[in-house]
Amino acid sequence: MNCGVDITRISRFENIENLDGFLNKYFTNEEKAYINSKSKSIQTIAGMYSAKEAVLKAMGIGIGSGVALKDISILHDNLGCPYVDITAKIDYYLLQKSAKEITVSISHDGDYAVAFCVVK
Give the CA radius of gyration of the chain: 14
Considering only 3-11, 12-20, 64-72, 107-115, which stretch makes contact with ligand COA by CB under 6 A?
Answer: 107-115
Q: Does 28 bind ligand COA (CB under 6 A)?
A: no
From 29, 78, 80, 110, residue interacting with ligand COA (rule: CB under 6 A): 80
CB closer to ligand COA out of 1 and 79 = 79
| Whether the Cβ atoms of residue 92 and residue 70 lie closer than 8 Å to each other | no
Q: Does 8 bind ligand COA (CB under 6 A)?
A: no
Other Cβ atoms less than 10 A from the Cβ of 86: the count is 17
In the range 43-72, which residues lie near ligand COA by CB under 6 A?
Answer: 43-44, 47
Rounded Cα distance between 120 and 106, Å, is 18
| Whether the Cβ atoms of residue 113 and residue 6 lie closer than 8 Å to each other | no
Residues in contact with ligand COA by CB under 6 A are: 43-44, 47, 79-82, 106-109
